[in-house]
Chains A and B, each alone.
Chain A
């Protein structure tokens, strides 16, 4: 019998890294949107710190040599970079599978045609809401954003580029979930990611305004499960639940520095996009070292590989090779120490306290958002 094995889950983590499969290239932290759950760090890079086109070309050449197969162009908004089309082409020529992760507000027919011609394999557009333009634009912090996204998505499908809709869900838009699913179908997307906000960085600052109630989450899960059955062969749906309501922590990134890394706009190599938030770790830069050296020898990448760094209760836990103690960034953000068990785990001594607080926040009716911006963000105007 023929069989296709999916590599998205793996059994063991190792102190000696295997070859990385995929890389997220944060081309820039600049973005026309100001989403209150942005996955960029609170300390945003400036344009003047960004890698040059030549830097990126060299990095792209090094990626296949160390085993990387897929390159995700992300940001900020990657289309702010004037050299994006050139770099997509360069990556394709290097044999990499290329994906563009974009807000799409800067995409027009000309740009879409250029990207398609450059060999782009796939596009992912984030949506902040369904058809309620004003509400979606309020979350994005940019008037007109939603209509621009719809138009860009149409251009992408007309150019016959494959599309994933990324629906970012939270308490203030979960009631729009059925419409978000319809939207993905109507746009001709082949795939929909229903991604509950993960509460790090900007999202953690906005947790009280965004975290869903348990009832909301359970309803959303039912809706997604029904849609997966109904839309088989039409739309593939991937579902990311907020780990605050799980009993077990998520297997974050397949393990720290196991088969994925992130390159920040200024060239730092991180195990994930949030890791810069862990103070005390010094990440190495592609400006100073070849990627092959960084992947094997960077002290920050080696810090949480394998299981030897673990403390109790992870150290002796039967799940330690399965979930690897959860997410280091979340452990740091919520307990102050990255070596601690991720409080998403029911075995963490901090679990009850932290998630009781989050559940309390979810039942309040706070709506005011802290938009991402340099200098700690900007509060939404009241009224």
Chain B
């Protein structure tokens, strides 16, 4: 298991937090009546359908992505923050990575059944939660030194 104190871990946490903050920027700009705030929504248009009725409302405006996507990003950040404390679960997921499918099952079920904003958000969060561990493990393995040494030569 990687160490949660490494700089790579904190870059990942900071990046995920910034991503969530960026998603909140369009509703905040809209609520302040900033000109061309629609443009900030357009920046995320290629990622999500952005249907207001399927999005969480913040400051009286929809978040830049739908409730399910918001859940996916939120779950990822939560995963990053709590996996360092969940050693047993981390080991189990790393030993049987296909458990990812199990975590995504509620989201698949939610797509088929009648759903609500809360169910979309929570099932999305559950699906991305274990992915955070794998991304963290991947980032921890990056060896930057050989690349730097090669540059010096």
A and B bind: no
| Chain A residues in the interface with B (C-beta under 8 A) | none
